[in-house]
Amino acid sequence: MAVVLESLATLSVLVFVVTSMLAMGLSLTVGQILDPLGDLRLVAKALVANFVLVPIVAYLILLMIPLTEAQSVGLILLATAAGAPFLPKLVEVAKADVAFGVGLMVLLMVVTVAYVPIVLPFLLPGVQVNPLEIASSLVVLMLLPLAAGLFVNARYGDTAERLQPTVNQVSTTALVFLVVLMLVLNFETLLSVVGTGVLVAFAILIAVSLAVGWLLGGPAAETRPVLGLGTAQRNVAAALVVGAANFDDPNVVVMLVVGATLMGLLIVLAGELGRRTGRQQPLPITEEATYED
């Protein structure tokens, strides 16, 4: 029975990643992705934050907090994988620049495909990984579905509009199914995490990443939350692809689920940012108020 559940969990990872990328492509155009990236200075800051500073933070956390090999791998995987598909939704809830959020997400995701296979062996010297397998899995499972969705949306807009809600629903269902399976298969392992340094390590990584992105996001109120949330919300989908395909220890995937669960709290922060933005907007001048003046 356990073998069947493990196979279903692996299948759920694949379905979630492929359908989330496909759904994204079906709802976007190439112009929507590229136009917000015209600010090269802001783009450079985003790349430094996500691919230099966050991995350094993760490395320092491992020096301070003792973790097992599987726990360390999970932390490093999340620290090196950027461009979360969930970012545009977070930005929308925060009432920030959604166009920039979409462009940033795709940029970070594309860089992740080339970055992770190169950097991971250096950050995990005691762990054997195959850079070519990592790169190929990310390209096949993430970039190709995204490209396919963009193509369908560009050539067959009506078809893309009909398919996108269904594909998005499949992605959401697969994610929920995956989380449930991980809880069932690794319930004891998850309980063992409570009281260890794992939760503290992930909390520090998320909080510091948020602060780094926020500070580098510039003075503009529309871009600062985008880079802050985009740096804190790591690409769990990419990390799951690498973790499931390259590490035999199931605890690696469990750690990714733990990290993803904590990152789910970012939606609460985004909602609070959105409420503050709404309160700061000036009230419209009504016709009645004009007459009174």
Provide the 8-state DSSP code for 52: I
276 is written with which tokens? 């503050």
Q: Which residue has the tokens 């109120």?
A: 221
What's the CATH class of domain 2-279?
mainly alpha
When pLDDT is cut at 50, 70 and 90, the band that residue 283 belongs to is: very low
Q: Are 12 and 177 in contact (CB under 8 A)?
A: yes
Mean pLDDT of 261-287: 71
The predicted pLDDT at position 280 comes to: 56
How far CA 26 is from CA of 94, 96, 122, in Å, comes to 23, 22, 36
Indicate whether 231 pLDDT > 80.
yes
Q: Which residue has the tokens 């309160």?
A: 279
Mean pLDDT of 116-136: 76
Q: What percent of the chain has pLDDT over 90?
A: 27
**DSSP-derived 3-state class of residue 45:** helix
The string of pLDDT tens digits covering residues 244-254 is 777 777 778 88
The string of pLDDT tens digits covering residues 76-115 is 999 999 988 778 778 888 888 877 888 888 889 888 888 8
Determine phi and psi for 289, rounding to 5 degrees. -65, -35
When pLDDT is cut at 50, 70 and 90, the band that residue 127 belongs to is: low
Length of the chain: 293
163 vs 287, residue with greater confidence: 163
Indicate whether 281 pLDDT > 80.
no
Burial of 37 (0-12, 13-18, 19+ CB in 10 A): middle
The predicted pLDDT at position 209 comes to: 95
Mean pLDDT of 229-257: 83
The string of pLDDT tens digits covering residues 144-157 is 998 999 999 999 99
Indicate whether 291 pLDDT > 70.
no
